[in-house]
A and B are shown apart, each in its own frame.
Chain A
Amino acid sequence: EAQVTQNPRYLITVTGKKLTVTCSQNMNHEYMSWYRQDPGLGLRQIYYSMNVEVTDKGDVPEGYKVSRKEKRNFPLILESPSPNQTSLYFCASSDRDKYALQYFGPGTRLTVT
Protein backbone atom coordinates (compact mmCIF):
# COMPACT_ATOMS: atom_id res chain seq x y z
CA GLU A 1 0.00 0.00 0.00
CA ALA A 2 1.34 3.40 -1.02
CA GLN A 3 1.70 5.51 2.07
CA VAL A 4 3.60 7.96 4.22
CA THR A 5 4.39 6.78 7.74
CA GLN A 6 5.45 8.78 10.75
CA ASN A 7 6.80 7.71 14.10
CA PRO A 8 6.02 8.21 16.84
CA ARG A 9 2.39 9.20 16.56
CA TYR A 10 2.32 10.73 20.01
CA LEU A 11 5.20 12.08 22.06
CA ILE A 12 5.43 13.91 25.35
CA THR A 13 8.86 15.21 26.22
CA VAL A 14 10.61 17.81 28.32
CA THR A 15 12.30 21.03 27.33
CA GLY A 16 15.78 20.52 25.95
CA LYS A 17 15.65 16.79 25.35
CA LYS A 18 16.61 16.08 21.76
CA LEU A 19 14.10 14.13 19.72
CA THR A 20 13.61 12.85 16.20
CA VAL A 21 10.37 12.24 14.35
CA THR A 22 10.79 9.85 11.48
CA CYS A 23 9.01 10.03 8.14
CA SER A 24 9.13 7.40 5.45
CA GLN A 25 7.39 7.02 2.09
CA ASN A 26 7.24 4.03 -0.23
CA MET A 27 6.16 5.82 -3.42
CA ASN A 28 9.63 6.79 -4.68
CA HIS A 29 8.72 10.46 -4.35
CA GLU A 30 11.41 13.07 -4.79
CA TYR A 31 9.67 15.82 -2.86
CA MET A 32 9.14 15.61 0.89
CA SER A 33 8.03 18.20 3.37
CA TRP A 34 7.36 18.81 7.06
CA TYR A 35 4.52 20.93 8.35
CA ARG A 36 3.20 21.94 11.71
CA GLN A 37 -0.48 22.50 12.30
CA ASP A 38 -1.64 24.87 14.99
CA PRO A 39 -5.18 26.04 15.73
CA GLY A 40 -6.03 29.20 13.84
CA LEU A 41 -2.76 29.13 11.91
CA GLY A 42 -3.38 26.23 9.60
CA LEU A 43 -0.44 24.41 8.07
CA ARG A 44 2.96 26.03 8.12
CA GLN A 45 5.89 24.52 6.31
CA ILE A 46 9.00 23.84 8.35
CA TYR A 47 11.42 22.33 5.82
CA TYR A 48 11.18 20.66 2.47
CA SER A 49 13.40 18.57 0.26
CA MET A 50 13.38 18.41 -3.51
CA ASN A 51 15.59 15.32 -3.58
CA VAL A 52 18.30 13.42 -1.73
CA GLU A 53 20.80 15.74 -0.04
CA VAL A 54 18.73 18.80 -1.04
CA THR A 55 16.80 20.55 1.72
CA ASP A 56 15.39 24.06 2.08
CA LYS A 57 13.80 26.12 4.78
CA GLY A 58 10.09 26.65 4.79
CA ASP A 59 8.24 29.36 6.65
CA VAL A 60 9.04 28.32 10.22
CA PRO A 61 12.40 26.50 10.29
CA GLU A 62 13.74 27.90 13.58
CA GLY A 63 14.42 25.20 16.13
CA TYR A 64 14.25 22.35 13.63
CA LYS A 65 16.69 20.37 11.53
CA VAL A 66 16.15 17.84 8.77
CA SER A 67 18.23 15.51 6.69
CA ARG A 68 17.63 13.61 3.46
CA LYS A 69 20.23 10.92 3.14
CA GLU A 70 17.87 8.48 1.45
CA LYS A 71 15.01 9.12 -0.93
CA ARG A 72 12.41 7.42 1.23
CA ASN A 73 13.27 9.02 4.61
CA PHE A 74 13.03 12.58 5.84
CA PRO A 75 13.46 12.80 9.62
CA LEU A 76 12.63 15.94 11.59
CA ILE A 77 15.04 16.72 14.42
CA LEU A 78 14.41 18.97 17.38
CA GLU A 79 17.80 19.49 19.00
CA SER A 80 16.47 21.34 22.03
CA PRO A 81 12.67 21.30 22.06
CA SER A 82 10.79 24.12 23.70
CA PRO A 83 7.13 24.42 24.74
CA ASN A 84 6.31 26.60 21.71
CA GLN A 85 7.08 23.58 19.55
CA THR A 86 4.11 21.75 21.01
CA SER A 87 2.08 21.07 17.90
CA LEU A 88 0.75 18.52 15.42
CA TYR A 89 3.36 17.65 12.82
CA PHE A 90 2.73 16.28 9.36
CA CYS A 91 5.09 14.83 6.84
CA ALA A 92 4.13 14.82 3.17
CA SER A 93 5.60 13.57 -0.08
CA SER A 94 4.95 13.98 -3.78
CA ASP A 95 6.42 13.55 -7.23
CA ARG A 96 8.71 16.42 -8.11
CA ASP A 97 6.70 17.15 -11.23
CA LYS A 98 3.47 17.12 -9.25
CA TYR A 99 4.80 18.50 -6.00
CA ALA A 100 1.52 20.16 -5.11
CA LEU A 101 -0.30 16.81 -5.12
CA GLN A 102 0.95 15.80 -1.72
CA TYR A 103 0.39 12.62 0.24
CA PHE A 104 0.30 13.16 3.95
CA GLY A 105 1.33 11.06 6.88
CA PRO A 106 -1.00 10.46 9.84
CA GLY A 107 0.56 13.16 11.98
CA THR A 108 2.65 13.25 15.15
CA ARG A 109 1.27 15.03 18.17
CA LEU A 110 4.15 16.47 20.16
CA THR A 111 3.88 17.99 23.61
CA VAL A 112 6.89 19.70 25.15
CA THR A 113 6.60 20.47 28.85
Chain B
Amino acid sequence: AQRVTQPEKLLSVFKGAPVELKCNYSYSGSPELFWYVQYSRQRLQLLLRHISRESIKGFTADLNKGETSFHLKKPFAQEEDSAMYYCALSVSMDSNYQLIWGAGTKLIIKP
Protein backbone atom coordinates (compact mmCIF):
# COMPACT_ATOMS: atom_id res chain seq x y z
CA ALA B 1 0.00 0.00 0.00
CA GLN B 2 1.11 3.53 -0.65
CA ARG B 3 2.29 5.37 2.40
CA VAL B 4 4.27 8.44 3.37
CA THR B 5 5.99 8.56 6.73
CA GLN B 6 7.34 11.65 8.42
CA PRO B 7 8.82 10.27 11.62
CA GLU B 8 9.23 13.58 13.43
CA LYS B 9 6.13 15.45 14.54
CA LEU B 10 8.25 18.28 15.85
CA LEU B 11 11.75 19.43 15.01
CA SER B 12 13.40 22.29 16.81
CA VAL B 13 16.78 23.72 15.77
CA PHE B 14 18.71 26.91 16.35
CA LYS B 15 19.01 29.61 13.73
CA GLY B 16 21.99 28.97 11.52
CA ALA B 17 22.04 25.24 12.19
CA PRO B 18 21.42 22.67 9.44
CA VAL B 19 17.91 21.29 9.07
CA GLU B 20 16.79 17.92 7.78
CA LEU B 21 13.14 16.94 7.70
CA LYS B 22 12.74 13.25 7.02
CA CYS B 23 10.30 11.68 4.61
CA ASN B 24 10.06 8.02 3.67
CA TYR B 25 7.62 6.53 1.23
CA SER B 26 6.22 3.20 0.19
CA TYR B 27 5.08 2.84 -3.41
CA SER B 28 5.46 0.10 -5.99
CA GLY B 29 5.37 2.47 -8.95
CA SER B 30 7.65 5.26 -10.06
CA PRO B 31 7.44 7.84 -7.29
CA GLU B 32 6.80 11.52 -7.72
CA LEU B 33 7.32 13.39 -4.48
CA PHE B 34 6.64 16.86 -3.20
CA TRP B 35 7.19 19.04 -0.18
CA TYR B 36 4.43 21.42 0.83
CA VAL B 37 4.76 24.10 3.52
CA GLN B 38 2.25 25.89 5.69
CA TYR B 39 3.48 29.06 7.37
CA SER B 40 1.55 30.45 10.31
CA ARG B 41 -1.79 31.90 9.21
CA GLN B 42 -1.07 31.14 5.57
CA ARG B 43 -2.33 28.60 3.08
CA LEU B 44 -0.62 25.35 2.40
CA GLN B 45 1.62 25.83 -0.63
CA LEU B 46 3.98 23.85 -2.75
CA LEU B 47 7.62 24.21 -1.71
CA LEU B 48 9.36 21.93 -4.16
CA ARG B 49 9.06 18.77 -6.22
CA HIS B 50 11.71 16.18 -6.83
CA ILE B 51 11.40 16.31 -10.61
CA SER B 52 12.48 19.92 -10.79
CA ARG B 53 15.58 19.31 -8.67
CA GLU B 54 15.57 22.96 -7.70
CA SER B 55 16.43 24.84 -4.54
CA ILE B 56 13.62 26.92 -3.08
CA LYS B 57 14.28 29.28 -0.17
CA GLY B 58 17.53 27.42 0.34
CA PHE B 59 15.81 24.05 0.69
CA THR B 60 16.68 21.02 -1.40
CA ALA B 61 15.36 17.49 -1.45
CA ASP B 62 16.82 14.49 -3.20
CA LEU B 63 14.90 11.38 -4.07
CA ASN B 64 16.73 8.29 -2.89
CA LYS B 65 14.96 5.30 -4.41
CA GLY B 66 17.22 2.82 -2.66
CA GLU B 67 16.27 4.16 0.74
CA THR B 68 12.79 5.22 -0.42
CA SER B 69 13.38 8.63 1.06
CA PHE B 70 12.87 12.26 0.10
CA HIS B 71 14.39 14.23 2.94
CA LEU B 72 14.19 18.03 2.94
CA LYS B 73 17.41 19.82 3.80
CA LYS B 74 18.69 23.31 4.39
CA PRO B 75 22.26 24.05 5.44
CA PHE B 76 21.51 27.14 7.55
CA ALA B 77 18.08 27.53 9.10
CA GLN B 78 16.42 30.91 9.35
CA GLU B 79 13.66 31.99 11.70
CA GLU B 80 11.24 32.45 8.82
CA ASP B 81 11.56 28.75 8.04
CA SER B 82 9.40 27.98 11.07
CA ALA B 83 6.34 26.26 9.63
CA MET B 84 4.54 22.98 9.15
CA TYR B 85 6.05 20.82 6.42
CA TYR B 86 4.27 18.03 4.60
CA CYS B 87 5.76 15.42 2.32
CA ALA B 88 3.41 14.09 -0.36
CA LEU B 89 3.51 11.22 -2.84
CA SER B 90 1.69 11.35 -6.14
CA VAL B 91 0.00 8.08 -7.12
CA SER B 92 -2.19 7.13 -10.03
CA MET B 93 -4.41 4.10 -10.35
CA ASP B 94 -6.85 3.37 -13.15
CA SER B 95 -6.82 6.97 -14.37
CA ASN B 96 -7.49 8.25 -10.87
CA TYR B 97 -4.95 10.46 -9.21
CA GLN B 98 -4.25 11.12 -5.57
CA LEU B 99 -1.71 12.74 -3.34
CA ILE B 100 -0.76 10.65 -0.35
CA TRP B 101 0.29 12.87 2.53
CA GLY B 102 2.57 12.40 5.46
CA ALA B 103 1.45 13.48 8.92
CA GLY B 104 3.61 16.57 8.79
CA THR B 105 6.56 17.92 10.75
CA LYS B 106 6.38 21.14 12.67
CA LEU B 107 9.69 22.96 12.33
CA ILE B 108 10.61 25.53 14.95
CA ILE B 109 13.70 27.67 14.45
CA LYS B 110 14.96 29.08 17.72
CA PRO B 111 16.72 32.47 17.68
Interface positions of A from 80 to 113, Cβ below 8 Å from B: 90, 92, 99-102, 104-107
Residue B57 at the chain A interface, CB threshold 8 Å: no
A102-B99 in contact given A42-B86, A90-B44, A107-B43 (Cβ < 8 Å): yes
Question: A73: CB under 8 A from chain B?
Answer: no
Interface size on B, residues (CB 8 A): 21
Which residue of chain A has the shortest Cβ distance to B32 in the bound complex?
Answer: A100
- CB-nearest residue of chain A to B45: A104
Q: Contacts A90-B44, A100-B32, A104-B44 given: A43-B86 contact, CB under 8 Å?
A: yes
> Interface segment, A10-18, A20-28, A44-52, A64-72?
A44-52
The verdict on A100 contacting B34 (CB below 8 Å), with A42-B86, A45-B98, A90-B44 known, is yes
Total interface residues on A, CB under 8 Å, equals 23
Is A56 an interface residue when CB atoms closer than 8 A count as contact? yes
Query: Is B53's CB within 8 Å of the partner chain A?
Result: no
Whole-angstrom distance between the Cβ of B14 and the nearest chain A Cβ: 25
Nearest Cβ distance between residue B26 and chain A, in whole angstroms?
15
Do residues B102 and A42 form an inter-chain contact, with CB atoms below 8 A?
A: yes
A2 interface residue (CB < 8 Å to B):
no
Interface centre among B88, B99, B103 (most CB of A within 10 A): B99
Q: Is A43's CB under 8 angstroms from B101's CB? A: yes
Sample 7 A-B pairs with CB under 8 A, ordered by A number.
A33-B99, A40-B9, A42-B104, A44-B101, A104-B43, A104-B45, A105-B43
B: residues with CB less than 8 A from A are: 6, 9, 32, 34, 43-46, 49, 86, 88, 90, 95-99, 101-104
Q: What are the 6 tightest A-B residue pairs by CB atom distance, in nearest-first order? A: A42-B103, A100-B90, A43-B101, A104-B44, A42-B104, A99-B97
